[in-house]
Structure 1
């Protein structure tokens, strides 16, 4: 059946299921959802069950768009919106899109704009015709979030065409009678870095992640193999989270012909753009070959389709995707694929943390169905134990307290996304409760911008943090203790006027970045302390300092004497240790039939596979790069 015939059939079914007196003027696909056009948006707004019942009957996501002729003037609409929405919501702006009939309402408290069970949104539609969408006003100004939102608003027509093309491809008719499922390792198997996998059926090809390994010679996935070398054959890219080893080469796909969607969560979209632009900027400054430019990132952004957790979405004729919380970094997702009409269910965990942390709830491991699991194995070797998180927090508080007491500064090299915010939350609470003195906590490098993205998406934080932010009005990221180092002059002033403080700065392995300016100045003073809260790879300055080097080379034949204390605190990792990896699988519901291990060195992947097989009596093996395994 041709796609136009599919749409005609859907329209016929919709019209038969509509209540008397409710009409539509057209239907079309936009990405994974079916859009209904109507001259009577008020009738749909009056009865919220119309769309719910249609979606249930047709088993498809449905949205309503008003016909342009029934829309109120934007100026008048703004007045009406302000009358309907409680003033406490603090609306900051309204953006109108005549092509989609949507008005985006930015507010500090989106929940008040939505209303109980969406009542306020329906009231807005009834009064002005426009379909309201709500966005949170960033509590910390984020250049990335602003630029992303502005770019999407300024390219609505192109975006709409992309979504229509995606929708027609998703909802094409299945034509192949064969039934098989294969998974191929293209990177990140028996190694950490350049994660990339291909999930194939007779009808579709889905790429899961496409990362770059910044610290190795083999930086890129095997994108030249026949299974994926024609990028136009891909139905979709599914991105589990924003770390560069999972998304760093997605723009390269667009540079060489890919024109399909990237599915990810909203925070992952924003964080991905931030990290990719930084990657391009650093490569250019260091005179390295730049794999893509900002225009390619913009093309990728136009094709990104954000999905919330638990939102079941068609991504191919024979495949549905649902994201679940992974507890790794903000927006990180476990990807659940439902293939065929109940044929098979596969879970790609991506990177996950099966423990409640200061930022996130534990990774989800309960699904409607699951037969195959592809799990990370970063700490999967038999000795892959980490310090309990609460002990790590106490160790950090103790070190800060003792360093400040002797008049010193604490320098924490940290990755901009995840560990920095985890440490910030620990320090904010410790200062607020008086466990450590009220000293300034300076944030240098990309950390402030990454924190602003966290503040923009508080609904992706753990239940306690959400309660603290939404119900108590206390956002720890807005603490006055945090000071953004926004200029070279401010950095120099901090260094020229030594005082008790905490400095969190990039890069996490001390391979460059602003942390080095602080290190060179603070290292000779025995009152100061350097604290590592993340992994230090061999060959990095961070690793040398962990090994006890007392002198570090600087520039041409110069050295810096290291008299400051050097401490390592395990336990802040966003990955599950070996105990948590086992618990995640042991408590998974339902119990899977097969497990593959990935995203770990050879020892970790093999030992985790062996121990999972023995303890759970489940078929388990490591996936190997360039290996294709037939699942069904």
Structure 2
């Protein structure tokens, strides 16, 4: 059946189910949603069960939009919104999009605009016709969030056409009589970096992650030239598990070379992804390299992004449904559950995950409606890869900082802008507030402050304790006065020249490049100072060499190679990692419900992947395998 015939059939079914006096003028697929246009949106606002019952009957996501002829003019609409919502909601901005009949309301307290069980939103719809969408006004001004929201507004017409094309492709008729499911490993197997997989059926091809290994020139990119994935135009979709570059850093390259389909991720992942992609090409240019893509390609990613919240079941291909679940790794990180065919197979890609509650996030989800196969990370999958508890790690960090400050030294923490930095910030804020360490400035250099602003924009993705603190008590630890963003080279040079006791968090986390290198050059020879590692240091990186005990560090400068004499103390504080340790990885599978039939390991060095696969097999008596790059495994 052609798509237009499918839509006509759906409209007829909807008309038959609608209550008397409620009508729709047209239906259209937009991305994974079926959009219904109506001249009486208030009928739907009054009765939320209409859409719920239709979605259940038709087994698809449904969105109701007002017919343009019933929309109240924007100026008059603003007055009616102001009359309807509580003054305390602190509305910061409005944006009216006549193409989709939506008004975006930016508010400091979106819950008050939404109202109990959505009552206030329904009242707004009745008064103005427009469908209100509420977004949080960022408590810390984020350049990234502001630019992305503005970009989406400006490009709404083009984006609507993209979504229509995507929607028609998703809802095309399945034609193949064959039934099989395969996973092809394109990167990130028996290694850390360049994660990339292809999930394929006779009907569909979906890529999971498309990362870059910034620490390796030889193994930098996934195997994107192999026939299974070429040309890119045959891909139905790309699913991004989280925003770290080793999982999404080459995504814009796909659009440069012919991909025109959607990319699915959570809202925070989309924003962090854009931030890190733009920084990646900026750093590559500054270091004299040739960036693999341009900022225009990053904008293409944004245009084609479809954001999904956790637990939202979504069609992404004719025979594949996707659901994201919390992964506990970084903001917006997602365990990706794929339901294939009409119950044919269920496969979970964990991406990077943390199976433990942390200062920022709840533990990764391992309860699913169904699961037969699991593809899981093994970063700390080695037999002896155990980490101390978070409580021990925090105590260790407090003692290291206390000792260094007493010696009039400086603490330098190389940190990933996204994830570890914010975890460490929460610990430092808590320790300073309780008087456990001196109230010294905590300088945030590189992208850390901007990434923190994005965290502050999405508090609903943080753990229960932090959400209560922010929403109920009005206390946001990210806004503490101890944090000082380093927003200019002048301030950086002032910190270096003054050499006063302080804590500095600076990127990059593995000391590949970035502002951390300027501080390192300045402070490395002073034995009063301390270098603190809180994250994973991959083989080949400067961070790993320092951990191994190198005392003479050759660094490239504009004048050639400079030898740095390493006298500062080095502390490795395990426990802050966003990855599960060996014990947690084993527990994640042991407690998974339902019990999977097979487990594939990846995202770890060769020994870690093999050790973990072997141990899971022995403990749980299930089929396991450590995946190898370029192999294809048939699941069904």
Are 1:346 and 2:347 counterparts?
yes
CA contact (8 A) 2:215 2:541 kept: no
Q: After TM superposition, give the deviation of residue 152 of structure 1 in Å.
A: 0.5
Are 1:278 and 2:279 counterparts?
yes
Q: Any residues of structure 2 matched to 1:538-553 within 5 Å, and which?
A: 538-553=539-554
The SS at the match of 2:228 is coil
- For 1:382 and 1:483, the matched residues in 2 are separated by 41
Alignment correspondent of 1:374: 375
Q: After TM superposition, give the deviation of residue 558 of structure 1 in Å.
A: 4.4
- For 2:157 and 2:282, the matched residues in 1 are separated by 29
Q: After TM superposition, give the deviation of residue 453 of structure 1 in Å.
A: 0.8
Q: After TM superposition, give the deviation of residue 539 of structure 1 in Å.
A: 4.0
Q: After TM superposition, give the deviation of residue 557 of structure 1 in Å.
A: 6.0
Equivalences, count: 632
- For 1:68 and 1:294, the matched residues in 2 are separated by 35
Aligned pair in 2 of structure 1 residues 175, 537: CA closer, same or farther (>3 Å)?
closer
Are 1:181 and 2:185 counterparts?
no
Alignment correspondent of 1:59: 59
Once the two structures are superposed, residues 116-137 of structure 1 have per-residue CA deviations (whole angstroms, 9 ceiling, x without a partner) of 1111111110000000011111
Q: After TM superposition, give the deviation of residue 4 of structure 1 in Å.
A: 0.4
Alignment correspondent of 1:426: 427
The normalised TM-score by structure 1 is: 0.98
Once the two structures are superposed, residues 309-337 of structure 1 have per-residue CA deviations (whole angstroms, 9 ceiling, x without a partner) of 00000111111100000001110000001
The SS at the match of 1:227 is helix
Aligned pair in 2 of structure 1 residues 396, 80: CA closer, same or farther (>3 Å)?
same
The SS at the match of 2:391 is helix
Alignment correspondent of 2:195: 195
The SS at the match of 1:503 is strand
- For 1:604 and 1:543, the matched residues in 2 are separated by 17
Once the two structures are superposed, residues 354-377 of structure 1 have per-residue CA deviations (whole angstroms, 9 ceiling, x without a partner) of 011111100000001111111111
The SS at the match of 1:132 is strand
Alignment correspondent of 1:536: 537
Q: Which runs of 4+ in 1 moved over 6 A?
A: none
Are 1:143 and 2:143 counterparts?
yes
Alignment correspondent of 1:82: 82
Q: Any residues of structure 2 matched to 1:614-625 within 5 Å, and which?
A: 614-625=618-629
Alignment correspondent of 1:470: 471
Alignment correspondent of 2:38: 38
Aligned pair in 2 of structure 1 residues 626, 564: CA closer, same or farther (>3 Å)?
closer
Alignment correspondent of 2:615: 611
- For 2:57 and 2:369, the matched residues in 1 are separated by 20
- For 2:564 and 2:190, the matched residues in 1 are separated by 38
Alignment correspondent of 1:172: 172
Q: Any residues of structure 2 matched to 1:107-118 within 5 Å, and which?
A: 107-118=107-118
Once the two structures are superposed, residues 132-191 of structure 1 have per-residue CA deviations (whole angstroms, 9 ceiling, x without a partner) of 011111111111111111110000000000000000111111111111111111111121
- For 1:291 and 1:558, the matched residues in 2 are separated by 29
Alignment correspondent of 2:512: 511
Alignment correspondent of 2:415: 414
The SS at the match of 1:105 is strand
1:599 to 596, 600, 603: 603
- For 2:337 and 2:577, the matched residues in 1 are separated by 24
Q: Any residues of structure 2 matched to 1:103-142 within 5 Å, and which?
A: 103-142=103-142
- For 1:369 and 1:113, the matched residues in 2 are separated by 37
Q: Any residues of structure 2 matched to 1:234-383 within 5 Å, and which?
A: 234-383=235-384
Once the two structures are superposed, residues 514-554 of structure 1 have per-residue CA deviations (whole angstroms, 9 ceiling, x without a partner) of 11222222233332221111223344333333233344345
- For 1:111 and 1:91, the matched residues in 2 are separated by 11
- For 1:547 and 1:617, the matched residues in 2 are separated by 37
- For 2:493 and 2:304, the matched residues in 1 are separated by 42
CA contact (8 A) 2:215 2:540 kept: no
- For 1:553 and 1:190, the matched residues in 2 are separated by 29
- For 2:536 and 2:56, the matched residues in 1 are separated by 47
Aligned pair in 2 of structure 1 residues 218, 557: CA closer, same or farther (>3 Å)?
closer
CA contact (8 A) 2:181 2:199 kept: yes
CA contact (8 A) 2:469 2:475 kept: yes
Which sits farther off after the overlay, 494-503 or 311-320?
494-503
Aligned pair in 2 of structure 1 residues 15, 353: CA closer, same or farther (>3 Å)?
same
Are 1:579 and 2:583 counterparts?
yes
Which sits farther off after the overlay, 134-143 or 541-550?
541-550
Alignment correspondent of 2:493: 492
- For 1:558 and 1:53, the matched residues in 2 are separated by 69
Aligned pair in 2 of structure 1 residues 626, 526: CA closer, same or farther (>3 Å)?
closer
- For 1:127 and 1:625, the matched residues in 2 are separated by 57
- For 2:391 and 2:498, the matched residues in 1 are separated by 33
- For 2:358 and 2:244, the matched residues in 1 are separated by 19
- For 1:523 and 1:429, the matched residues in 2 are separated by 28
CA RMSD of aligned residues (A): 1.2
Q: After TM superposition, give the deviation of residue 110 of structure 1 in Å.
A: 1.1
Aligned pair in 2 of structure 1 residues 627, 544: CA closer, same or farther (>3 Å)?
closer
The SS at the match of 1:351 is coil
Give the gaps of 5 or more residues in structure 2.
Answer: none
- For 1:620 and 1:539, the matched residues in 2 are separated by 29
The SS at the match of 1:263 is strand
Are 1:4 and 2:8 counterparts?
no
Aligned pair in 2 of structure 1 residues 341, 537: CA closer, same or farther (>3 Å)?
closer
- For 2:315 and 2:506, the matched residues in 1 are separated by 41
Once the two structures are superposed, residues 280-325 of structure 1 have per-residue CA deviations (whole angstroms, 9 ceiling, x without a partner) of 1111111212211011111111000000000000111111100000
Aligned pair in 2 of structure 1 residues 142, 402: CA closer, same or farther (>3 Å)?
same
The SS at the match of 2:207 is strand
Alignment correspondent of 2:445: 444
- For 1:568 and 1:128, the matched residues in 2 are separated by 58
